[in-house]
Chains A and B, each alone.
Chain A
Amino acid sequence: MSSVTGQVAYAGAPVAPKRANVFKRIFNHRNDYLYVLPALLVMLIVIAYPVYYTIELSFFKTPPNLQMKDKIFVGLDNYWAILKSDSFREVTINTAIWTVASTFFAFLLGLGAALSLHREFAGRGVMRAVLLIPYVVSAVAASYVWKWLYHSDFGVIGALAVQLGLSDKPINFLDNVHTVLPSLIVVNIWKEFSFAMIMLMAGLQTVPEQLLRAAQVDGANAWQRFWHVTFPHLKGVSMVTVLLLMVANFNSFIIPWIMTGGGPAGASDIWITQIYTIAFGRQRYGVASAYAVILFIVMMTLGYFYVKALTKGDESRAG
């Protein structure tokens, strides 16, 4: 294994201070840094400044009768106001359910689809294209279509349920505090599983065929071959897929906003819809910024793990 060899080779060498090492590496790669400088500058303007301004704003009160330049410094009051509000607990629980359930089931469905499509069968190409449709359809259009499919009075799904005798009246998907979030999660899973499928299909290409054959020769059944050979090879791509899905779901706005606007009675309100309402419905940019900073911290934590998963082994290879 190259990484082990690398570690042995460096074991006897004098250990240089890490900081000096970093500067030396930057100096040695100065031309590379020059090449990425324009992109870095653009990112500073379009990402770093808005992030800085959001953090700054989170310490101010911005009532609707004052211009932004007249905002009032309130320290951490916005954060306390959020953390102690009744709605925060409810919205956080909704966000956790939304994110975890959407990610888990989208991944599971994507994995199933990827495994099915990995095998040769007639019409595989067509099936692959069909399963990709949810991913390429605009989220806004999909939300409106699903809203009508779910409609509590005239929805197709409710009408079908009545016709098939499954229910004596149309099912109330979106106008019930208990069913609205699961109904939205189903739409989100439908929209996202194709992404997991694509990622995992790419991952499946890296599973060595000879290992699978060898396992088969050794008497392993289909489940054992999947669990002991295929799945370990998918570990890296699965980690990245799950993290990307989680980030996307934490930030998911279109589906809940268009389909319910966070209602009824806040039952489908998640962090991002709450932030939008506070900022643009209530004009409380300070509180909304504080909320966004909390979300940002969560996202950065996920981002850290994402980068770590993505670059796993790179450092040892870079030497």
Chain B
Amino acid sequence: MHKDQTGRFSRRRMIGLSVAALSAASMLLSATASFAQSVDLSKWSPEYIRSIAGTEEVDTAATCSKVVPLDYKGRLTYWWTGPNDASPDIERKINDEFWAAWKATYPNIETDAQNIDYNQLLDKLRTALLGNAGPMVLRLQILGGIEFSSKGYFQELKPEDVGYPTADFWPGAMKSVTYEGKTYGIPTNNETMAFIWNADIFKRAGLDPESPPATWDDVVTYSKTIHDKLGISGYGMVAKQNAGNTPFRFMPQLWAYGGSALDESSDAPTYESVGLNNEGTKAALQASYDMYVRDKSVPVSALTNTQNENQNPFIAGQLAMMIAHPAEYAKMVDLAGKATGADKAVADAVVANMRYGLIPEGPARRAVVFGGSNMHFIKNEYVDGGFDEQAAKAFACFWNSPEWSTKLAWTGSNPGNLAGFKTKWMKERLDTIKFLDVTTSMLPSGIPFPVVPEATEIMNIIVPDMLQNALTGKMTVDQAADDAAKKVEELMGGGI
């Protein structure tokens, strides 16, 4: 164990982690205690979600005026990853409506907002912060913030600072903005993935078209059955190196079998032990190996595929099942709309046969990555032109309001502010977006990635490498798991 200032197991760090663990635990308790004010997580189910939708009226301008007067004059800079040309039309429409509403509500706050591509935002931010040229406010994917919190770039920020109770946010989401006992952000939106399958392929393969595989062992069996009977890929494995997509698909499987990267799947993680070489991890890795190498029932291109590359075979009826984002259905409808000729009939049939279900269970649990994004405030000294606190708070209040938190997460996510689930817009989403209730019901099974600065490296590099080492035969399953665990231990011990 290293004891220098970077060592993960230093006394200071231990104390910090203990405080963090205690805070998380107390947050869980306090959140549970105050859920009567918003939603009741203990009842979370598709039925409950539908029962509360549309039961509460909100007035965003009135709420935010209590935080910052509507006539406040100031300046705001904001970076986020918003809708792009590939996004469904409705996302772009809502984005335009948001900026118009913001301008109308706070007309005197001059706003410079930069919509930056998902893959570029982190690098751009790192570079900008080195030159003290960051924005005032920032929305980052859930795994991205901890690096900057630990480096001291972010201001402490909690929902109460912008007018909302912490109890109105998922405890798991709050954990993702908490570092060494301090809160550095507000969860803007949260989502969990679900399992999608093509009912027609299931039927042709002799499987129950309306039931997804119940366990991960079933996934292996179903995938082989589909491949053997129909000659197409069963499960849409994703195992690309250096790609965030990979852990989002593999970690649910790993956690389900009882594995973990550190101890993030436990109720009160301390991030002090490594689980990548435990029996659960090896069982999950073996299941992937069986599908890719033994049964050859998944795409050969899994090693270079991200989820995007799985969309085309799925809509073409060449892939039976995969873990998918809530927005996948909208994406498939979009793709079917663009198809022509004979492809159009195939794509329409796939959309008609598309089903959403819960991600399969494993021997240990049902699990999914708790995803989403968080909003952060950057410290004054790192902001280009200085930090305008009132403008930033007004904006955070507006964006994270039940109204806009819901609208801005329309097809791809869910409101970070749980009060959004009670709005009429949530009801509209449930009425218009197919399977939304299913994907939303996965939220309680969500496990956040480890809240440590090294999480990006563990998830985006070490875990995909482990998979690739096993699937290419470069290492055995045991060797790959042991190698990955060794790398994580070195990393957490402060190794170069």
A residues in contact (CB < 8 Å) with B: 61, 63-68, 72, 74, 77-78, 81, 147, 151-154, 170, 172, 174-177, 259-267, 277, 280-284, 286-287
A153 surroundings in chain B (CB, below 8 A): 233, 299-301, 313, 318
A277 with B474: CB separation less than 8 A: no
| B1-33 interface (Cβ within 8 A of A) | 4-6
B241 with A263: CB separation less than 8 A: yes
Question: Counting CB contacts under 8 A, is B152 at the interface?
Answer: yes
Question: Counting CB contacts under 8 A, is B151 at the interface?
Answer: yes
B469 with A265: CB separation less than 8 A: yes
**Stretch binding the partner chain, chosen from B203-211, B417-425, B457-465:** B457-465
B6 with A265: CB separation less than 8 A: no
* Alpha-carbon gap, A170 to B233, bound state (A): 14
B242 with A64: CB separation less than 8 A: no
Given A263-B304, A281-B457, A283-B456: A66 and B469 within 8 A (CB)? no
Which chain A residue lies CB-closest to B469?
A265
Q: Taking the nearest CB of chain B, how far is it from the CB of A69, in angstroms?
A: 9
- Size category of the binding interface on chain B: 35 or more
Q: Taking the nearest CB of chain A, how far is it from the CB of B20, in angstroms?
A: 14
B496 with A177: CB separation less than 8 A: no
Q: Taking the nearest CB of chain A, how far is it from the CB of B243, in angstroms?
A: 7
How does the 8 Å CB contact mask read for B288-315 relative to A, with 1 for contact and 0 for none? Answer: 0000000000011111100000001100
A72 with B303: CB separation less than 8 A: no
Which chain B residue lies CB-closest to A61?
B496
B240 with A177: CB separation less than 8 A: no
Besides A262-B242, A264-B472, A281-B242, 11 other A-B contacts (C-beta < 8 A): A77-B496, A152-B300, A153-B301, A172-B300, A175-B303, A177-B474, A261-B242, A263-B242, A265-B241, A265-B472, A283-B147
Which chain A residue lies CB-closest to B480?
A265
A154 surroundings in chain B (CB, below 8 A): 301, 312-313, 318
Q: Taking the nearest CB of chain A, how far is it from the CB of B84, in angstroms?
A: 17
Which chain A residue lies CB-closest to B309?
A151
A280 surroundings in chain B (CB, below 8 A): 123, 126
* Alpha-carbon gap, A64 to B474, bound state (A): 29
Which chain A residue lies CB-closest to B316?
A154
How does the 8 Å CB contact mask read for B232-245 relative to A, with 1 for contact and 0 for none? Answer: 01000000111100
Q: Taking the nearest CB of chain A, how far is it from the CB of B226, in angstroms?
A: 14
User: Interface centre among A61, A151, A153, by most B CB within 10 Å?
Assistant: A153
Q: Taking the nearest CB of chain A, how far is it from the CB of B144, in angstroms?
A: 12
Partner of B303, one of A264, A283, A284, A286: A264
* Alpha-carbon gap, A243 to B475, bound state (A): 38
* Alpha-carbon gap, A57 to B461, bound state (A): 23
* Alpha-carbon gap, A78 to B496, bound state (A): 7
Question: Counting CB contacts under 8 A, is B468 at the interface?
Answer: yes
User: Interface centre among A265, A267, A281, by most B CB within 10 Å?
Assistant: A265
B241 with A175: CB separation less than 8 A: no
Question: Counting CB contacts under 8 A, is B477 at the interface?
Answer: no
- 7 tightest A-B CB contacts, nearest first: A263-B241, A152-B300, A65-B150, A65-B453, A264-B303, A64-B453, A152-B301
Question: Tally of A-B residue pairs with Cβ under 8 A?
Answer: 114
B153 surroundings in chain A (CB, below 8 A): 67
Question: Counting CB contacts under 8 A, is B328 at the interface?
Answer: no
Please classify the interface of chain A as helix (H, G, I), strand (E, B), loop, or mixed, using the class held by over half of its residues.
loop
Question: Counting CB contacts under 8 A, is B454 at the interface?
Answer: yes
A263 with B303: CB separation less than 8 A: yes
Q: Taking the nearest CB of chain A, how far is it from the CB of B246, in angstroms?
A: 10
Which chain A residue lies CB-closest to B454?
A64
A72 surroundings in chain B (CB, below 8 A): 4-6
Question: Counting CB contacts under 8 A, is B494 at the interface?
Answer: yes
User: Interface centre among A172, A263, A280, A287, by most B CB within 10 Å?
Assistant: A263
Given A65-B453, A281-B242: A260 and B151 within 8 A (CB)? no
How does the 8 Å CB contact mask read for B114-155 relative to A, with 1 for contact and 0 for none? Answer: 000000000100100010000000000000000100111100
| B368-418 interface (Cβ within 8 A of A) | none
B299 with A277: CB separation less than 8 A: no
User: Interface centre among A72, A172, A174, A283, by most B CB within 10 Å?
Assistant: A283
Given A265-B474, A283-B457: A259 and B304 within 8 A (CB)? yes
A170 surroundings in chain B (CB, below 8 A): 300
Question: Counting CB contacts under 8 A, is B256 at the interface?
Answer: no
Partner of B471, one of A63, A74, A152, A264: A264
Q: List 23 A-B contacts (CB under 8 A).
A: A61-B6, A63-B6, A64-B457, A66-B151, A72-B6, A78-B496, A152-B300, A152-B301, A154-B318, A174-B301, A174-B303, A174-B304, A175-B300, A175-B303, A259-B304, A261-B242, A261-B304, A263-B241, A263-B304, A263-B464, A265-B469, A265-B472, A281-B242
B460 with A177: CB separation less than 8 A: no
Q: Taking the nearest CB of chain B, how far is it from the CB of A60, in angstroms?
A: 10
A286 surroundings in chain B (CB, below 8 A): 496
* Alpha-carbon gap, A281 to B130, bound state (A): 17
Given A177-B472, A265-B474, A281-B461: A260 and B300 within 8 A (CB)? no
Q: Taking the nearest CB of chain B, how far is it from the CB of A41, in angstroms?
A: 21
| B240-264 interface (Cβ within 8 A of A) | 240-243
| B54-102 interface (Cβ within 8 A of A) | none
A282 with B457: CB separation less than 8 A: yes
B151 surroundings in chain A (CB, below 8 A): 64-67
Q: Taking the nearest CB of chain B, how far is it from the CB of A275, in angstroms?
A: 13
* Alpha-carbon gap, A265 to B240, bound state (A): 9
B313 surroundings in chain A (CB, below 8 A): 153-154
A174 surroundings in chain B (CB, below 8 A): 301, 303-304
Given A64-B456, A281-B457, A284-B496: A261 and B6 within 8 A (CB)? no
A66 with B474: CB separation less than 8 A: no
